[in-house]
Amino acid sequence: MWKPIIFAFLIVVTGAAAARSHDVRDPATLQKPLIQDLLTESLKSNEGLEVVVSHVALPPNLTLPMHWHPGEEFAYILQGSVTLILDGEGEQEAFSGDVGVVPLKKVHTARSGDEGATILVFRVHEEGQPGRVLVSD
């Protein structure tokens, strides 16, 4: 039941985000991740929370450092593939058109596939907190 609602929301916001100017590159040509925040907005219905919409481009075969977010993360894979690795829970592979969720403060990483990946990410988290917190080994 939630998947169609989330997908419809993503299409509406994707259209709105596309209207904003941002750097769109073929992820296969990148040397490092390109993360661009397209929107940061306080939630009027829930004081102390905000939503951040980001366009993320990952070069081929890149593994991000282990990290967590001070909120929940929702990702829509626009292009390519990515493997989400949740600490203690194994791996989940996602392809273009897939939607995924990273739970609140869950330590994780992501690894892009051979063609890289382009992802539209929505985070709902505590206002004033960093977008991500790196986890040292």
Q: What is the pLDDT of residues 93-130, one digit of tens each?
A: 999 999 999 999 999 999 999 999 999 999 999 999 99
What gap in Å lies between CA 77 and CA 121, rounded to an integer?
9
The amino acid that residue 30 corresponds to is L
User: Which DSSP category does 3 fall into?
Assistant: H
What gap in Å lies between CA 125 and CA 135, rounded to an integer?
18
User: Which DSSP category does 14 fall into?
Assistant: H
Q: What is the pLDDT of residues 58-88, one digit of tens each?
A: 999 999 999 999 999 999 999 999 999 999 9
> Is CATH 3.30.830.10 the right assignment for the domain spanning 2-134?
no
Residues 115 and 27: beta-carbon distance below 8 Å: yes
The amino acid that residue 54 corresponds to is S
Q: What is the model's pTM?
A: 0.78
Domain ranges of the chain: 2-134
